[in-house]
Structure 1
Amino acid sequence: MRKTYRLLLYCTLAMACMAGAAFLTINALFPFPERALQAGPALLVRASDGTPMRIFLPDDGRRRFPLKLDAVSPVFRKVILASEDRYFHVHPGVNPLSILRASVQNIQEGRVVSGGSTITMQLARLVEPKSRSFKAKIIESFRAMQLEYTCSKEEIFEHYLNFTPYGGNVVGVGAAAFTYFGKSASALSLGESALLAVLPRAPQAYDPIHNPAEARAARDRLLDTLRRRGVFPANEVALAKQQPLPTALARTPMIAPHAARMAYEQLKESSPTRFSRLGEDHTWELTTTIDTTVQHQALAAMKRRQPGLRRTGLANAAVVVLDRETREIRALVGTDDYFNAQRHGPINAALAKRSPGSTLKPFLYGLAFDAGLAVPDSMLLDIPTDYSGYIASNYNDAYNGPVTVREALIRSLNAPVVRLLARLGVPHFHRFLQRGGIELRHGPEHYGLPLALGACETTLLQLTALYAALADDGVWRPARLLPKTEDHAPSDDSVRLLSREAAYFVRSMLQEVPRRDLPGIWSRTIGAPEVAWKTGTSFGHRDAWAIGFSAQYVVGVWTGNLDGRAAKGISGAQHAGPLLFDVFRAVEKPGTALPRAKDLNLTTTTVCVESRNLPNQYTPRTMEITTIAGVTRLRRSALHQRIFVDPETGLRLEGRCLTDFPAEPRVVRTPPDELVAWELSRGIPVQTMPPLSPACRTVPGRGGPSIVSPSTATPYVIRSDAPAEFQRIPLKARTDGSDSKLFWFQDGRLVAQGRTSDQLFLSIERGRHRLVVQDSRGRIDSVTYVVE
């Protein structure tokens, strides 16, 4: 008998070894497709408070939110094990008793009522789907044993919960809890767990939305089974049966869709490895810096303004709101209606490359402050100036003569800022903009002086981040949509663009820009947050901008047409400004003041009242202005000079004439020649230096231009029988014989330029005209003529 038992034992061991060897051999030949267990998840983008914003599906279109086992409700896990596989923790992947029981039940019923598959076998079938057949069952069983061989029970159960289909494109308990109940799988109740347990058995038949009666009956049958088996007490089951079924799927989130897409693309581009491995570490959520309250307020403000903007020909708008301190994007509205394809709704206008217009001017002035060339009270010339054929004109084609830097920025004058860029140099400003995050496509020589007026392309987001540097004492940092975490922790990428003093000067001027939403003394208006702001209108009337900052936020607004259509008559102040202040009033605390700068390296300097340069010994009036200590370099004023005149004739005496004739000193104003020429062309009385006495023949400097044509003797008459191109007046001037360059101004406008030998003509216009010519040495002559 012992020999028989021993032989039987040996045979059993030999068969076990042979079975094990056969399994290992087949396992090596046909390994389990483990990569299939790492199906790509959907990506759920959330706001900073966790509110779902948008879902991005993987390539196969399935909504999967994979979870770790401990992130799933213990009640749901208990329901699944009790209803699907009570012996899950005991069997090796295949349960012969379950298969035998299922076979008996199927024979008795005459149809398939039970499959006998374990959770492991079901997972194998989900990973490697096959048609139902005896052969498929054998393969499924083998795959289940492979899973048991390579994975722990907890890993198998976790994969199963993440692969179970729930109808449509919903896969896994994480996506099912979100889709059917709008909640996390960790919060599933007994009634909800029972419904999700029966739903995969017949997703269409037990669909709680379309077949609520069948779904409720199936759920309650399972609950009764769990009660009979003692899994849950009767009172809990009774309460679970009373729980209502969902009447609609949880609404697919669509908050800040443009910002959500940005976050998705940023993750894809900045962390391609992490993006490709989404799901492997159960990562399927991406949290952004979006504040849902601020986002809704910005969108609501845009929707209120959009009908009026469209009546003026502006179909699109965009708003960006940054946290002033952290540069986190709190709101980003790319268009007012994401789903309106006719109005290009899916396009993120906050990232569209557009011409920024006058919004770059504050930074050019700040750069000039740091270069020591000017301060807010410095004087600039607002007159037409030719730079190799380029003449900057103001918005209304009018000029103002001498203006302060403060006035030039507040009124957004073009000519002064172009003259200032000519002194600074285009490459200097070009480098500044690039360091401030403006992505310029070409070198400085491509843009030239028009760069001061926004003759380039940038985005609303880039421009808003640049203005944040003004709010932060001149320090630039990029706008961030993803919060600083271990995964998204950039190195210190801050860049000092301006000194604290220069940034303060610019801020103080922008605070004085008149606001369209308030009366002149707006700071006295109760409830209005203090704002520093600037507007811009692009070339060709295609874009209107308004950018500003308050105590907590930096807000940028763009309006225009994404298809590039122009809208005649638009302006940043009129069309973008109102929306800007609607947003500020919505997001900023009422009456909040801008932070006050402290410990600045500023000093006061005495200057000439008229030139704003350092006074000389003949300066009649002086004043105090604020300058940057050790930086601001003011020139000595040359506006007032002492000359000597003949007391009888009043003519100027120079050289040897001073010893040959009686002379008395006199202080006279000597404004720049180009200013004198412009003022004379406008008919403005100008006090010029007295002419040189004829007696001083040996003194050089005479022989300035003398206008020959047009003539002042008789009026010019426009003929109706001759084409306009044949009715032009020749511009001629007598000079000292040199072929110098002449500049011709008519009624304050530069109308022609060329050398004395050039043939220049002037188109005639009815009226009385003041014409001034100036040579390259600043000598001038003027006439007044009439065209009838």
Structure 2
Amino acid sequence: MCLKSKLLLITINGIIILYFAITPSPLLEDISFSQRVFDRNNKLMRISLSKDDKYRIFTPINEIPTTFIKAVLLYEDKHFYKHFGINPLSLAKAFYSTYVQNNRKIGGSTITMQIARLRYGINSSTILGKIHQIIKAIHIELHYSKDHILEAYLNLVPYGSNIEGIAAGSYIYFNRDLKDLNLIEILSLVVISQNPLKRGGNYVNILKARKYLFNKWITTHQEDIIYDKLISLPIKFNRHKDLPFIAPHFTLEILANNDNPIIYTTIDKNLQTTIEKQVKLYINNQKKYGIYNAAVILIDFTTMEVLTSIGSGDFFNNDICGKINGTKIYRSPGSALKPFVYALSFDQSLIHPLTLLKDTPTYYDYYKPENFDSRFAGVLSAKEALIKSRNIPVIFLASKLKNPNFYEFLQQAKISGLRKPENYGLSIVLGTVEMTLEELITLYAMLANFGTYQPLRKNLMSSRSLSIGSRNNKFDHIDKIQDNINNVLLSPEASYLTLDILKDTTRPITYNISHNLPIYWKTGTSSSFRDALSVGIFGKYVLAVWVGDFKGQTYGTFTGNISAAPLFFNIIEAITRPNKDEDLILSKIHELNITKVKVCADTGDIDNDMCPVKTETLFIKGKSPIKQSDIYKKILIDLKTGMPTCQFFKGQTAYKIINLLPTDILLIYQKAGIHILPKPIPKNNCNKFINWYYQKPKIIYPVKNSLHSIKESDTITFSAISNNKTNKIFWFVDNKLIATAKPNEPVIWKAKIGEFTISAISDSGKSDSIKIYIKE
């Protein structure tokens, strides 16, 4: 042999040695796998597609049932653990059958050869391709263990369409995990992989192949002869469409934020499907009223875990933009924010539940709030104002809040869509701020957790690792994480008083009251009637329901009471157990700094002898406001004339209690047909003794020291209230009379640029003055 030939031979041998010496790329490197999402009870909710749009679930070799591995090796490559990547005898038989006898093509491939073809895209249908496959199989065997090779094969073996790997095949064909399959299903899965198109259904082909494999199997597994009569029976195979697709909006979010192959969530599949049915049933029944869409969240406030999340009425309905997640979009919560104004007011010593609040025409700079029904109630207790969802009382309370005000409170509660405070003004408490349904339910969970803010939890592992209730506390269902020390936004007492009011909100007449479970709930309606909400607490749950339209269309019928409340209560009835669900709120009162005190029912003030009707209310010790009533006065009356007198004469005079309601309240009562008698007029010689009689008027608009920006044609409204003796009020601007009006009657003044003193003088000579500033 010449030198050149020797060098060529050495070079070729060197290349071959070098080729086999280099480790081939890892068998599963850069292979994308599906993710599985499970509920809190390990029930499958969804399997995602891999990045290359395959159903391919990675399963380690040590998690694959031994029965399955034995069946695969028996059917595909019984000498797998003995050969070095190829089976010469099988290859010879395949060559003879294919090219000598011209029978159907037989590959003769070992499992290692199949991995070489699958992993490296080798076309093994040609002789050159087969040689390439053989070489690559030997290459693989030199560098990877048999278990590694078998693991790669079982995760990549095709099962038809876009299904790869035995785990994906098990879930799609049988809707179960590998470990839950019986012998017949395992054998079926093994034979499908050799010809998925023909065997992936109730065809004769799979019955014959499975029977063939079973006969081989029982030669070494006689105990499985009991399956002999079942092996020839047809078996039901599922398809892609039969895969679970639970809580699609929720699982999309989970998958987008989690790369783990297996994800355990907080969702309760049973609750999810039960509530989904209620939503679909309700929408089907309400389509005639323009209701086509809804979103729902149910959480366990003791752990803050999301148990149910429904993003729309139908994920696949493009007409309603069903793929939009209604729990994540920003919408107006309407009146659903009002309870938090009252809670803050309890904490800031502004009110107790029976404090009287005015519901009369009111002005705040350029803002004149109105009630939903465009009417005024006069005066009503804080409890009644919240239950009836009156706007003017809550605006008044919001104007008094400090450290924090309501905007600052929402910031502390991590409401994400807040703009600058000047974009809202006082109307923020009526829902002009937008937030997501998830943020709203978190606020109500804070009430249920007695003022402690906690974020929602959706991943079961992370939520359980936080170990709710790990330390002793009088509120054992509140999260004890150290970080929560800084998340107390309301006192437990203010939270309790607010919830105690909400439980008395009138329920729909169709709701089954026999359940006897307190429900602390509130509705909300956006100003444009786009959105209707109901949110509330019952048992250990907080439930939020949104009904509306993703396209922003306005429906005059969309209100919280009419559109959302029925669905809210339908869901409660569907998931609660009569007389078994435990209330976690009312039982806590004995652990709080709350007491009962007697107050005057008509005024809400501390009880005194002049109060005609008395009642009890809840007080926060050392915090709730204490005020003696100034509405009722005791005067001496001449029994003959009915007029006040200064001297007591036995049998001729007696003390009588009278009320001193201001004119704005009296006017509301008069419009409602309620006529309260004016107080008697004292004699002239008694005036000096009855100073309370001539009370000075009070300017309620403009606000003292307010700044106004106007144009040349703009006007400003003046208004003042007084007691029921005042007949006229004289209005002065810088000591110049501009108008005469009745108490509570608005006066229009054409504004000018500058600084002005506004005075209101009653016909009894009493006065009130303020300064205002006007600029362009």
TM-score (norm 1): 0.77
Q: What is residue 464 of structure 1 aligned with on the other side?
A: 441
- Tell me the secondary structure at the aligned position of residue 480 of structure 1: coil
CA-to-aligned-CA distance 1:260-307 (integer Å, 9 cap, x gap): x423423533x4xxx1xx5xxxx3x32222223222321222233223
Query: What is the deviation of 1:423?
Result: 0.6
Of 40-49 and 370-379, the range deviating more from structure 2: 40-49
Pair 1:197 & 2:190 matched: yes
- Tell me the secondary structure at the aligned position of residue 387 of structure 1: coil
Work out whether residues 730 and 763 of structure 2, in 8 Å CA contact, stay in contact via their aligned partners in 1: no
Q: 1:743 to 1:509 in 2, by over 3 A?
A: farther
Q: What is residue 24 of structure 2 aligned with on the other side?
A: 32
Pair 1:363 & 2:359 matched: no
Pair 1:249 & 2:242 matched: no
Q: Which amino acid aligns with 2:164?
A: V
CA-to-aligned-CA distance 1:644-702 (integer Å, 9 cap, x gap): 9999999999xxxxxxxxxx9998755456546766788855737969979999x9x99
Of 733-742 and 44-53, the range deviating more from structure 2: 733-742
Query: What is the deviation of 1:164?
Result: 0.2
Work out whether residues 334 and 349 of structure 1, in 8 Å CA contact, stay in contact via their aligned partners in 2: yes
Q: What is residue 221 of structure 1 aligned with on the other side?
A: 212
Number of aligned pairs? 693
TM-score (norm 2): 0.78
Q: 1:235 to 1:440 in 2, by over 3 A?
A: closer
CA-to-aligned-CA distance 1:581-634 (integer Å, 9 cap, x gap): 111111111134623223210234555554434579988887654311122233
Report 1:569-580 matches (<5 A): 569-580=557-568
Q: Which amino acid aligns with 1:585?
A: E
Aligned-partner Cα distance in 1 for 2:128–2:94: 17
CA-to-aligned-CA distance 1:514-552 (integer Å, 9 cap, x gap): 111369xx8xx4334331211111111111111122113
Query: What is the deviation of 1:340?
Result: 1.8
Pair 1:411 & 2:402 matched: no
Report 1:260-279 matches (<5 A): 261-269=249-257, 271=258, 275=259, 278=260
Q: 1:493 to 1:266 in 2, by over 3 A?
A: farther
Aligned-partner Cα distance in 1 for 2:12–2:222: 41
Work out whether residues 188 and 206 of structure 2, in 8 Å CA contact, stay in contact via their aligned partners in 1: yes
Q: Which amino acid aligns with 1:447?
A: Y
- Tell me the secondary structure at the aligned position of residue 330 of structure 1: strand
Q: Which amino acid aligns with 1:241?
A: I
Aligned-partner Cα distance in 2 for 1:703–1:633: 25
- Tell me the secondary structure at the aligned position of residue 416 of structure 2: coil
Work out whether residues 64 and 170 of structure 1, in 8 Å CA contact, stay in contact via their aligned partners in 2: yes
| Identity, % of aligned positions | 28
- 1:186 is aligned, of 179, 182, 199, to 179
Q: What is residue 102 of structure 2 aligned with on the other side?
A: 110
Query: What is the deviation of 1:148?
Result: 2.7
Of 235-244 and 675-684, the range deviating more from structure 2: 675-684
Q: What is residue 426 of structure 2 aligned with on the other side?
A: 449
Aligned-partner Cα distance in 2 for 1:307–1:234: 51
Pair 1:176 & 2:164 matched: no
Q: 1:75 to 1:148 in 2, by over 3 A?
A: same
Aligned-partner Cα distance in 1 for 2:266–2:763: 62
Work out whether residues 643 and 652 of structure 1, in 8 Å CA contact, stay in contact via their aligned partners in 2: yes
Aligned-partner Cα distance in 2 for 1:52–1:32: 36
Aligned-partner Cα distance in 1 for 2:370–2:492: 32
Aligned-partner Cα distance in 1 for 2:246–2:434: 25
Q: 1:609 to 1:756 in 2, by over 3 A?
A: farther
Pair 1:422 & 2:408 matched: no
Of 356-365 and 325-334, the range deviating more from structure 2: 325-334
**RMSD value, Cα:** 4.3
Query: What is the deviation of 1:161?
Result: 0.4
Aligned-partner Cα distance in 2 for 1:304–1:741: 66
Work out whether residues 216 and 245 of structure 1, in 8 Å CA contact, stay in contact via their aligned partners in 2: no
Work out whether residues 529 and 589 of structure 1, in 8 Å CA contact, stay in contact via their aligned partners in 2: no
Report 1:170-569 matches (<5 A): 170-209=163-202, 212-224=203-215, 235=225, 238-239=228-229, 241-249=231-239, 251-258=241-248, 261-269=249-257, 271=258, 275=259, 278=260, 283=261, 285-425=262-402, 428-485=405-462, 494=484, 495-517=487-509, 525-569=513-557
Q: Which amino acid aligns with 2:242?
A: T
- Tell me the secondary structure at the aligned position of residue 298 of structure 2: strand
- 1:120 is aligned, of 112, 126, 130, to 112
Work out whether residues 637 and 644 of structure 2, in 8 Å CA contact, stay in contact via their aligned partners in 1: yes
Q: 1:32 to 1:480 in 2, by over 3 A?
A: same
- 1:58 is aligned, of 50, 55, 60, to 50
Q: Which amino acid aligns with 1:184?
A: D
Aligned-partner Cα distance in 2 for 1:422–1:51: 50
Query: What is the deviation of 1:508?
Result: 1.0
Aligned-partner Cα distance in 1 for 2:212–2:740: 98
Q: What is residue 582 of structure 1 aligned with on the other side?
A: 570
Q: 1:226 to 1:112 in 2, by over 3 A?
A: farther
CA-to-aligned-CA distance 1:357-389 (integer Å, 9 cap, x gap): 111111110111111111111111111111112
- Tell me the secondary structure at the aligned position of residue 479 of structure 1: coil
Q: Which amino acid aligns with 1:459?
A: T
Query: What is the deviation of 1:482?
Result: 2.0
- Tell me the secondary structure at the aligned position of residue 379 of structure 2: strand
Q: What is residue 603 of structure 1 aligned with on the other side?
A: 595
Q: 1:436 to 1:53 in 2, by over 3 A?
A: same
Query: Structure 1: which 5+ residue stretches go unaligned?
Result: 1-15, 654-663, 706-729, 759-774, 782-788
Query: Structure 2: which 5+ residue stretches go unaligned?
Result: 1-8, 468-480, 646-653, 699-717, 720-727, 753-757, 765-776
- 2:145 is aligned, of 152, 162, 167, to 152
Q: 1:529 to 1:617 in 2, by over 3 A?
A: closer
Work out whether residues 289 and 329 of structure 1, in 8 Å CA contact, stay in contact via their aligned partners in 2: yes
Aligned-partner Cα distance in 2 for 1:741–1:361: 41
Q: 1:153 to 1:611 in 2, by over 3 A?
A: same
Q: What is residue 594 of structure 1 aligned with on the other side?
A: 583
Pair 1:738 & 2:734 matched: yes
Aligned-partner Cα distance in 2 for 1:49–1:740: 78
